[in-house]
Amino acid sequence: MPRNSSPDPVPISPALLRAGLIGTEDRGTVLVVGGARTVPGAPALSGTAALRAGAGTLQLAVAERHASALGVSVPESSVFGLPETASGAIAAEAVDRLADVLPGAGTVVVGPGLTGAEETEALLRRLIPAIAEDARVVLDAFALGALSRDPELAEPLAGRLLLTPNRTEAAFLDGCEEKDVDDLETAVRIAARYRGVVLLMGVVAEPGGRTWRDGSGHVGLATSGSGDVLAGLTGGFLARGADNDQAARWATHVHAVAGQRLIPDTGRTGLLARELVAEIPRVIAELER
């Protein structure tokens, strides 16, 4: 597809979101798979964001060494300890530990806190076939790197896949240099290539070519853990029964506006990802009035 060939995206606004409110009757289960040896906090950020978005049940699957601590720090969640590789990544054998959990997880978020490109690719090879056939799947962080190494991993997830890359990850997925990433055009190509909905820097693209853009974000959102919050938000809205592109629109807007609300207290560059999570309920409540 030639660059700059896509129609202008539809602006994401409160009015647009209110015209397609997400129901509250469904409060499904979100399973977050991540939390390798060196990144234990990422799944906690994603999981609490999913709960704040309205998920009914949270399950965290993390490295065995972190399971007890996360169970205490996120008492609303069930926690499952997973085996590690020698380097501290989550081992592919972790899927065996989740055999009883995966069939009941309606939304699976994979990537927050995973490490190791090869190890994550091996994990996805075993994990994806074990996910329920009607479950929706959000891939983030190292899971996106693994997908770029083997795009065929996405084939069983066609129509139920959401990708939440930053520009570096988008470049890998699109096979280009990061300097050549165009948020709109790149998102459109990635959505078509992997047959999933893409959230990229405020742009939402679906495989059929429709696009939306939210202009509420600011530089402060480029902070450690912010992407984990966005992935969890997306999973939480899916657990409430939102359509894939609907969940993406709500997640990118709520994430951005939550960041705006923090500016008076943190400035544009001082916010912490966990502070975004605390703002989420207020933003959602105002949209749902």
- pLDDT tens, residue by residue, 226-239: 999 999 999 999 99
What per-residue confidence (pLDDT) applies to 4? 57
The tens digit of pLDDT for each residue in 30-83 reads 999 999 999 999 999 999 999 999 999 999 999 999 999 999 999 999 999 999
* Closest by Cα among 161, 160, 196, 198 to 182: 198
What per-residue confidence (pLDDT) applies to 112? 98
pLDDT at 172 over 80: yes
* Prediction pTM value: 0.95
User: Considering only 12-16, 22-26, 155-159, 255-259, which range has the smallest mean pLDDT?
Assistant: 22-26
Mean pLDDT of the chain: 95
What per-residue confidence (pLDDT) applies to 7? 81
What per-residue confidence (pLDDT) applies to 222? 84
Mean pLDDT on 170-196: 97
Mean pLDDT on 88-93: 98
Query: For residue 81, which phi and psi values (nearest 5 degrees)?
Result: -80, 135
pLDDT band at 171 (very low <50, low <70, confident <90, very high): very high
CA distance 50 to 177: 32
The total number of residues written for the chain in this structure: 289
- Residue 268 is encoded by which pair of tokens? 């544009």
All domains of the chain in start order, with CATH: 26-171+180-206+215-287 (3.40.1190.20)
pLDDT at 3 over 60: no
What is the percent of the chain where pLDDT is above 70?
98
Mean pLDDT on 10-27: 93
- Residue 72 is encoded by which pair of tokens? 């205490």
What per-residue confidence (pLDDT) applies to 1? 41
- What is the rounded radius of gyration, in angstroms, for the C-alpha atoms of the chain? 17
CA distance 176 to 186: 9
The tens digit of pLDDT for each residue in 197-229 reads 999 999 999 999 999 999 887 777 889 999 999
